[in-house]
Amino acid sequence: FSLAVAVARAQVQQEPSLETTQGTGINITCSHPKIQTGQTIYWYRQLPGRGPELFVSIHKDSKELPGSAGHVSVSADRRSSWLWLAEPRRGDAAVYYCALGA
């Protein structure tokens, strides 16, 4: 599976855990120092008791999340990306993963 191979090769790194209170914005960081030119950055969300689902994908710059829920941004050198949740609610409690793929 190409996405899994890309993740292993890219050595994606994230914080082990983050906490916030309801309504207080939170920034989730992903480091991918070996990202390649054509690769896209994918953020997945896994809600409790469910499988991971694609949350947002981005190649460069920044992108707003649906419903003004926040945004995802990529550094100029594309070696890092950030998922900003502006006003997280209880239903946003989840595991957030980043990954790379073609």
- Residues 55-72: tens digit of each pLDDT: 999 999 999 998 889 999
What letter represents residue 67's amino acid? Answer: G
Is the pLDDT assigned to residue 24 strictly greater than 80? yes
Cα distances from 82 to residues 56, 67, 93, 101, in angstroms, run 11, 18, 17, 17
Is the pLDDT assigned to residue 84 strictly greater than 90? yes
Domains of the chain plus CATH, in order, are: 38-101 (2.60.40.10)
3-state secondary structure of 4: helix
